[in-house]
Chain A
Amino acid sequence: MRWASLSQAQALALVQIIGLSTLATAALVALGLAVDAPPAGGLKLTEAALCSEDGSCSPVSLPVRIAAEPGADHARARLLIDIPATAWEGPQALYFPDYADALGVAVGGRAVAILPEGAPVVINRNRPALFTLPEESLGSGPMGLEIAVAGHPQFGARLGIIWVGPRASLAAAYEARYWLTAGLAQAIFLVLCGLSGAFVWLAWVRRGTIQLGLAAASVSAATFSAFFAFAEPPLPVGLWTLIWDSAIRLYSVAAAIFLLRLVEVRATRFEVGYAVFMITMIIALAVTPPHLYEATFHFTHTLSIVPAVIFVVIFWSNRHRLSALNTQALMVLFAFMIATGVSQLFIDEASALGTVITQLMPLLMLALGSWVMMGQLVGAIRQYEALTETLHAQVAAKSAELEVTYAELAERRRVEAIAEERERIMMDLHDGVGGQLVNALTYLQSGGDDRALLRATLDACLSDLSLTVDSLEAEDSVTTLLAMLRARLAPVFEAKKVALDWTVEGEPMLPEVGASAGLHVLRIVQEALTNAIKHAGARHVSVRVSAHAIEIADDGRGLIGPPREGGVGLRAMAKRADAIGARIAVEDTGAGTRIRLLWEPAPTPS
């Protein structure tokens, strides 16, 4: 980053983070002062004499640390403290806010707490201690306080400042501190266990790096917090300490990877490097002799600042991928982290606040991380919903378009079909009824007055018209149409004394269906019958209707011979037959004429 080209926004962010850090530092210092307020009536003991095994003593100021000898399984020290002469009233107590890991206490030569030989059985990182003194054990004169302290070799023994004074006020201070440190640690442990369960489940379901990172970070944080929550180690102290230390380091790596994935950064080299670095540090700690553990611990943690800074740089340069709100939240957290570091300079080393912050930090970090992730998840769901909605809208629009297209197509086909039928009916009326009516009118205009002829013509018109109307009956089969024709013509045949044989062998399966086809068949048969009785002078006509043919045979003079009106009729019949995909066959049988309307069997739908 070139500082010269710092943009206004970057400068603003810098100012913000510095301001926030300052505010947080002030708040923490104030909080620390409040938390570590001296208990009322209490006397603070800070001067002690550290005595070696051989009995020689040297003055020290509390807090004091005693490292373990190389190879020793614990560090142990004896301290002598003078309680100045005070006018004590009521029951008194000794309050140890901070020590590690076990204490032995004697006042005026009387044992209050006994420290067993050997390594302590507990690990004490955050628990205070309170000892009620026996009645009248503190006299009006100066009193000698003897303290034995033992600690595990990894971090040595530690003794912080000591309070002596009225039991009631010291007990209150002890209670407050206990809940702020050990109580809080247990609560945080429980919360982290719950979070771990949730995130591990999420990682199992989603199987993404981001979820895996979060799950690993939360499990590490839970392990880390267990160290603070339970005084009695479930494993050998060395191993338990190593696990605790490894947990916080793995947590750093997992949290870093999670946060980078959150801003969609895939810094593979950094991530692998960070992990390798941390594993190296863990191995170094594992092989370090116990008495050098603390030194290695501090050294490795100092080294860890380097990858942490690299992470912050990478993360910060990609923070625009987060929403403004999340960036603000992260900034507050970073400011808080800086503030915790800075405030350590102003707060008593033994302050409860340091412990609180140390314990709380992973939880805060995880809470923030999961909040940011939930925010992104919700955003993703909203995006998905919006996308789905758009998709649905598009599908609906396309469907509507298609429907319109189909409707238009159907409408066009319908209109075409109607036009076709209209054309057919017009042609039919024009050729049939129209022609006959024109003939009749012309006959009348030219002075004709043969009523019988006129009546016959009008009858023929009606008959023609009824044929047309018949053919429009959508429900009727061809057989029914033919039967109607036969019923209509029956009186004519009767009047002319012509016998008509009518045989139906099957319903005609015409190649084409519809009113037009029916009408064409009707006209053909009508024409053939009319020919037979009008022109051929037949005495006997037979009609045979079957699935693939209609046959009209007569015993008349036949069609072959001198040209007559039937010629035109035959051509018209052939044309009609053609229109329905059939053909006309005319034969002279010797005894008369046989006209057949023939068609190929329609393919039966299977």
Chain B
Amino acid sequence: MEGRDAREGDAAAASVLVVEDSLDVARHFVRAIEGAPRLTLSGLAHSVDGAMHLLYERRPRIALVDLGLPDGSGLEVIRAAHTASWRCESIVISIFGDDRHVLSAIEAGAIGYLQKTSETGDVARAIEVALAGGSPMSPRIARRVLARLAREQPSPPAQTEDDRLTQREREVLELVAEGLQRREIAGALGIALGTVGNHIHNIYRKLQVRSNTEAVSKAQRGGLL
């Protein structure tokens, strides 16, 4: 576990809503959560509809969301969780090779991702890591974020200071994209290991802020606000 300050250090166990249409996978996650001392199962949904219902009824602290649901995209659930009145973090359930979707999920408000094939022990640990803001970042996601920034470079959209990546954050992304691990990045940049984690956490946060800004402007354009 990366050296992040345990902000969610409250004694109460965090409640987790599992949104997954595959029964086997769902059962796997349920088992993992029930086996983790600091997590409790808030509910299990197999569709967007069911997930929305449970989300507002049970008000979970965490939502584990699969993207491909029978009646829609898990992105809807992630957005709902992100804009909920209470604090609710969502984590994408990912399979290999769908980093593209993971990136859009992060932009929709997810704070991290979890491999479907993770072992039960790993699931609980990954959830805790994500909660602590230490979700890993794959080289491909780093590359995509960089590519997106490069595209935006000529005319940066009107954004506040807090969602613009710093030079150091870009350097970190660059090294992640090359395949370097946090320890190696820390060595290469001459910074502490925890600082690398902070940078990555900030990058995630900024991606979400960006998506929020975009969502607000989109909503304004669409006459929703």
Contacts and interface: CB of A to CB of B under 8 A. Distances in A.
A502 B138 contact: no
A465 B177 CA distance: 21
A486 interface: yes
A469 B184 CA distance: 27
Contacts of B179: 479, 482-487, 502, 504
A317 interface: no
A462 B96 contact: yes
Contacts of A483: 139-140, 143, 176-180
Interface in B120-144: 138-140, 143-144
A475 B148 CA distance: 12
Contacts, number: 54
A466 interface: yes
B147 interface: yes
A476 interface: yes
B178 A477 contact: no
A96 B16 CA distance: 132
A479 B143 CA distance: 10
Interface in B176-202: 176-181, 184
Nearest to B178: A504
Given A476-B143, A502-B179, A487 B96 contact: no
A490 interface: yes
A477 B178 CA distance: 10
B176 to A, nearest CB: 8
A473 interface: yes
B73 interface: no
B97 interface: yes
A475 B181 CA distance: 22
Given A483-B139, A486-B179, A469 B117 contact: no
Given A484-B140, A487-B139, A466 B96 contact: yes
B140 A469 contact: no
Contacts of A318: none
Contacts of B138: 484, 487
A130 B225 CA distance: 104
Contacts of A482: 179
A469 B97 contact: yes
Contacts of A587: none
B181 A459 contact: no
A289 to B, nearest CB: 100
Interface in B195-215: none
Contact of A480 (B97, B117, B140, B184): B140
Interface string A454-494: 00000100100110011011011101101111110010000
Contacts of A462: 96, 117
Contacts of A486: 139, 179
A473 B140 contact: yes
A462 B119 CA distance: 14
Contacts of A465: 96
B96 A479 contact: no
B117 A459 contact: yes
A469 B144 CA distance: 17
Contacts of B97: 466, 469-470, 472-473
Contacts of A485: 179
Interface string B144-171: 1001000000000000000000000000
B186 to A, nearest CB: 14
A503 to B, nearest CB: 9
Nearest to A469: B97
Contacts of A502: 178-181, 184
Interface in B99-131: 117
A473 B139 CA distance: 13
Contact of B139 (A466, A469, A480): A480
A483 B185 CA distance: 13
A484 B139 contact: yes
Contacts of A487: 138-139, 179
Nearest to A500: B181
Given A484-B139, A487-B138, A479 B177 contact: yes
Nearest to B176: A483
Nearest to B144: A475
A3 B147 CA distance: 97
Given A459-B117, A490-B181, A480 B96 contact: no
Interface in A140-194: none
A391 B180 CA distance: 65
B147 A469 contact: no
Contacts of A476: 140, 143
Contacts of A479: 177-179
Given A479-B179, A483-B139, A487-B138, 10 more contacts: A470-B96, A470-B97, A470-B140, A473-B97, A476-B140, A480-B139, A483-B176, A483-B179, A486-B179, A487-B179
9 contacts: A462-B96, A466-B96, A475-B144, A479-B179, A483-B140, A483-B180, A484-B138, A502-B180, A504-B179
- What are the 6 closest A-B residue pairs judged by CB atoms, nearest first? A483-B179, A483-B139, A466-B96, A469-B97, A486-B179, A504-B178
